[in-house]
Chain A
């Protein structure tokens, strides 16, 4: 920042204020965290089972669309409509995860290739659908109130921010992921296959079944991430010129969180707050958005470095003690 002639101190103060400055900012920050949480969970879940799901982005987009569509097309009481829309989003994401899962299990096609391609398919199919549904327009109608995650209470509490109930859905999913991995038989199998598929096969587990299942669950998390945007933040869906980036950031969120449910909360909080808080830097300190992006990237880079160094140190110490 100094090099490009801006005052770093006012810059960082602006960042801080953007995140925690007032109750409105806090509300918006929390709102921003929800999709990151779910995207992070999706990537982390796949990682834990030995898969690299780069398709979170696409799964999130189809989830977004599915939730928005259900929100518009049906008119149901809230108690049915909202869960229905959420489930639709999860199902759409799961379906998008199912395809690479099946291809990997049956034909040994690497999931990274398939998921990247599925991202493009998702983007353009959804754009085309939006065009058809809106009669040539670029935007779907607003969803019905009965499917919305919006909360007047939370909104009032945070000075009319767009904070919505999605954060609770996201946190519930953190618990769900922990429960699946740590408590269930399925989780035990998924982890076994992830760590050592040979040994899992020897123990009579079906690696293929678990690969598909892992991708489906991972996709469902991502789809829910899309629902956050559809039912909470935006309340509708516009056709997109490019990817949202949330799915890709999810990879970093998961890695920062060491692929554990609790760690993902940490990673998502860091990402969400920086992303949202950074919006304030151009306003308050007059720093161009491009430089802000670089700064955010650097902050995350250093956090990741610090984390890796710490892990490295712990490993080193353990090793010494072993000997």
Chain B
């Protein structure tokens, strides 16, 4: 076989902990090889070994059949290995070209030769259909474009083996599609790609082979066309995972949240919510579908009292809470899982126990007469840790040390333990692996079955289709339509998210299907 990279029996140890325990990965020339594993399974460690950031404790690495010792990233570069990092390493106020040549600036008698470099950048960009403007400033271009600059950077330096570390984590669905196409184009031109991800849809779409690792151990390599997402998920998590979270029909009763003609401006005075109406009842999950930036954040902040409402009314359990203080609103029975768990959900430098008390520290028995009762807080934290399976070394560990999934479980535990009538879950599964996603979906449905109201805001179509009982599609500050997930298609939803009304969207989908059928006949 013609392998460009072989990592044979590679081990990497930190203290007594094996981050990589005899893992083998073989990359063929011209293939996209996915590396799949849960958060913390050891994917990044393995790639850092390959890229020279860590030295392996055992095993051997061969590049194009030759044994090599990759002692630092420069060696990796010389071997033609390039890495596209998850967090971009770009200088915001420099141009694309300047960023690409950074560190190895071509000079002509001491002066940087930008023009030639820009020409070369444009050439490579055209060759792989990257469509990047070499003179654009990084701060002016979208996240998806910035990622292409990272790709360009590796290509410019002559890489023909590219490692993509969770490349789709911060991209919109359209950008993801475009990226996957670029990857296909790259391999068509003879490059080889290792794709690190835990998103099964991407793997099925783009990869040729998948190597699965779980808890630092290599589970095996399978050929993508001979497997399916269910099998991959089982391999990755080590047990059966259900994608369709099972749930009975909803039995909605009285109204908990009612929003009438809500209007909100942002700090510049630009209208973000333009007369939004919404109602959520006990015993149902309302999913808000929509593309990021159509007013979802403002909606949540208005309900929770974090932003001023310009006009309109918000009722919780028939009580008018419009423009009330956040704490007052929380007390009427709201639990809130914020969309940014690091910025809004947790205080990372606080312990797990402190974080578990963030919403209720001022109540007895957690504090009394102005004095905190940390014993009680620790006990309460212990309950959350146990009940919500938060994997931590203990209540005293800093929240910062927890993985994303466990941080999210901590927040969800904290909010649900307060027994709110309305649970607002904003992007509750962002960046989490299938195991954690399944856990969180089950908890949301459990709340519903207990007769609570749940408002789910998400950008993931799968999630909104799977979990909600009703989907309200949001576009440009209003709800353009409400659909039943059992009676709609992802295509129709997508069209509504682009601003079409429900009727128009459904007609278009029907027309497209008819079109497809006719082609079939021909």
Contacts and interface: CB of A to CB of B under 8 A. Distances in A.
Interface string B348-363: 1110001001110110
B344 interface: yes
Given A188-B372, A195-B349, A323-B19, A202 B326 contact: yes
Interface in B505-519: none
Contact of B343 (A184, A196, A321): A196
Contacts of B361: 185, 188
A186 B348 CA distance: 19
Interface string A192-208: 10011011111111000
Contacts of A323: 14, 19, 45
A207 to B, nearest CB: 11
Contact of A200 (B347, B348, B357): B347
Nearest to A319: B14
Contacts of B347: 192, 195-196, 199-200
Contacts of A191: 350
Q: Could you say which interface size class chain B belongs to?
A: 20 to 34
Given A183-B372, A185-B362, A199 B343 contact: yes
A196 B338 contact: no
B306 interface: yes
B15 A321 contact: yes
Contacts of A203: 358-359
B120 interface: no
Contacts of A200: 347
Interface string B371-384: 11000000000000
Contact of B401 (A185, A186, A195, A322): A322
B193 to A, nearest CB: 25
B344 A204 contact: no
Interface in A151-192: 183-188, 191-192
A191 B361 CA distance: 13
A183 B45 contact: no
Main secondary structure of the interface of A (DSSP, over half): helix
B58 interface: no
Interface in B304-363: 304, 306, 325-327, 330, 336, 338, 343-350, 354, 357-359, 361-362
A138 B343 CA distance: 54
Interface string A111-129: 0000000000000000000
Contact of A185 (B326, B343, B370): B370
Nearest to A323: B14
A195 B350 contact: yes
A71 to B, nearest CB: 32
Interface in A247-293: none
B457 to A, nearest CB: 15
B172 to A, nearest CB: 24
B367 interface: yes
Q: Could you say which interface size class chain A belongs to?
A: 20 to 34
B326 to A, nearest CB: 4
A207 B104 CA distance: 47
B327 A204 contact: yes
Given A192-B358, A201-B306, A320-B14, A185 B346 contact: no
Contact of A204 (B45, B346, B359): B359
Interface in A98-138: none
Interface string B134-166: 000000000000000000000000000000000
Given A184-B372, A195-B349, A195-B350, A202 B367 contact: no
Given A185-B362, A192-B350, A202 B336 contact: yes
Given A192-B350, A204-B325, A323-B19, A199 B358 contact: yes
B406 to A, nearest CB: 14
Interface string B278-312: 00000000000000000000000000101000000
Contacts of B330: 204
Given A185-B361, A192-B358, A199 B346 contact: yes
Contact of B371 (A184, A196, A204): A184
Contacts of B306: 201-202
B350 A202 contact: no
Nearest to A321: B15
Contacts of B343: 196, 198-199
A188 B351 CA distance: 12
Nearest to A179: B371
Nearest to A203: B358
A22 to B, nearest CB: 45
Contacts of B348: 195-196
Interface in A292-323: 320-323
Nearest to B414: A203
Contacts of B338: 202
The 4 closest A-B pairs by CB, nearest first: A204-B327, A203-B358, A204-B326, A196-B347
5 contacts: A184-B370, A202-B344, A203-B358, A204-B330, A320-B14
